[in-house]
Amino acid sequence: MSDAVRDQYEAYPYPWRDPVDERRRLIVGSPSHRLEIDHFLFAGGRESAEKGGAPLRVLVAGGGTGDGAIMLAQQLADAGKGGSVDYIDLSEASAAIARARAEARGLANIRFRRLSLLDLPASGLGPFDYIDCCGVLHHLDDPAAGLAALVSVLAPGGGLGLMLYGGLGRTGVYPLQEVLRSLSAGLPLAERVALARRLLADLPSTNWFARNGELKDHLDGGDAGLVDLLLHSCDRAYRIDEVVALLGAAGLVIAGFSEPARYDPLSYVTDPEVRRRLTGLSGVARWSAAENLAGNLRTHVFYAVRRGESMGRVASPDDARLIPVARDLDIAAVARHLGQGGRMRIPLDGFTLHVELPVAAGAIVGAIDGRRSIADVQRYLAARQGGYDGFAFHRDWRQAFDALHGLGKLFLRKPGIG
């Protein structure tokens, strides 16, 4: 990381957080939510220590003010299964906020170090079962070198949770960055912030940044958000095919996206002939078509594993032993809304996704309690309804699962994984 980038985060730690707020809420997000890690990387969860498994070893590389590290450390502590988080960052100001947040929660399972992720190969740290690198690689002079450094400390069978900026969804950012560089070269950062505020208030309505209503960091994130969005000295964005190429050079493949529906082109069109042709696409071509159609993917949030270790890593909804677990979802309210089938309308950054669900969707969703396995859900509904044959249930279950999992709201976990 360059001196200019480090100095930026010393002056404007991002995102700004007040450690006092830890008393009232836990910020959760993606990547690195434990449900997602279990689902996408460990086929529903790793064996517990009681069953011969080892505690999860986590690295948060470029931890900033601590969102990912605090979330996962708290989830590990709540599960009572052990596990530890190593946080590294070069910004003392950011680390001080993250450390204060951990202290406010009484978390003893985080170790803080001032270290560049580029120094990981010679650091003696690791290996790690899971590595979080959220919003960091795209701020490096050499993102490929940064990714290679992360892979060097990834344990066999481990995985990564990554976030990279999306090219199309950030339309308008880079021309405005260019204008601001030309206007404010040599000014102290605080004066550049003030000048940027003046320019934002005076943009023509035709400006692409002004027309991209999903770019809000400069509004929601205060001055730190504005600096990170528009005054960053090292910042690039990726189309999904470029993400795949970056990963491929490091020997990695994508295991899954935190919101898979965003990368399905069928989410965005209704014309039967267009859908038929889109159905013929697979892999990167399919993901690229979705990105090009959506136009609003500001970030790519996904999980990655080594190419030779990709088989069987993602939990399968066809495995009836697994337990469906909802995330940030009011199951009872969704079940009532669905009733005897119907359509879900989901806002996705300016686009409304319409999801058709089967008649049984409400009952299936209502039977999910985080304890029943898929097989238990079928038995429960069969007992209540006087029968529910396996073929019909599997059809209805897959449609309900695909809809909710596609939105990042439903994941699968092995029994006994706390």
pLDDT of residue 199: 98
- Mean pLDDT (whole number) for 190-200: 97
| Mean pLDDT, the chain, whole residue set | 94
Question: Is 274 or 346 the better-scoring residue by pLDDT?
Answer: 274
pLDDT of residue 111: 98
pLDDT of residue 65: 98
- Mean pLDDT (whole number) for 314-336: 92
- Mean pLDDT (whole number) for 217-238: 96
Listed range (224-233, 267-276, 350-359) with the worst mean pLDDT:
350-359
Query: Helices 34-41 & 67-79, crossing angle to 10 degrees?
Result: 80
Residue 334 pLDDT grade (very low, low, confident, very high; cuts 50, 70, 90): confident
Q: Is the pLDDT of residue 127 over 90?
A: yes
pLDDT of residue 80: 87
pLDDT of residue 252: 98
Residue 52 pLDDT grade (very low, low, confident, very high; cuts 50, 70, 90): low
Residue 142 pLDDT grade (very low, low, confident, very high; cuts 50, 70, 90): very high
Among candidates 343, 327, 386, which has minimal Cα distance to 71?
Answer: 327
Contacts 24+ apart (CB under 8 A), 211-219: 211/172, 212/170, 212/171, 212/172, 213/350, 214/169, 214/296, 214/298, 214/349, 214/350, 215/170, 215/172, 215/173, 215/298
Q: Under DSSP, is residue 416 helix (H, G, I), strand (E, B) or coil?
A: coil
Q: Is the pLDDT of residue 49 over 70?
A: no
pLDDT of residue 346: 86
Residue 341 pLDDT grade (very low, low, confident, very high; cuts 50, 70, 90): low
Q: Is the pLDDT of residue 416 over 70?
A: yes
Q: Is the pLDDT of residue 345 over 80?
A: yes
Q: Is the pLDDT of residue 347 over 90?
A: no
Residues present in the chain in total: 418
Listed range (207-216, 243-252, 299-308, 380-389) with the worst mean pLDDT:
380-389
- Mean pLDDT (whole number) for 157-180: 98
Domains of the chain by start residue, with CATH: 3-165+238-309 (3.40.50.150), 169-230 (no CATH), 323-413 (no CATH)
Question: Is 342 or 414 the better-scoring residue by pLDDT?
Answer: 414
Neighbours of 147 (CB within 10 A): 24
**CA 109/CA 329 separation, integer angstroms:** 28
Q: Is the pLDDT of residue 113 over 70?
A: yes
- Mean pLDDT (whole number) for 233-261: 97
Share of the chain above pLDDT 70, in %: 97
- Mean pLDDT (whole number) for 120-148: 97
Tokens 């339309």 belong to 171
Contact 66, 86 (CB under 8 A): no
pLDDT in tens, 77-88: 999 878 999 999
Q: Is the pLDDT of residue 321 over 60?
A: yes
Cα dihedral angle (82, 311, 153, 86), rounded to 10 degrees?
-30
Predicted TM-score (pTM) of this structure: 0.96
pLDDT of residue 200: 98
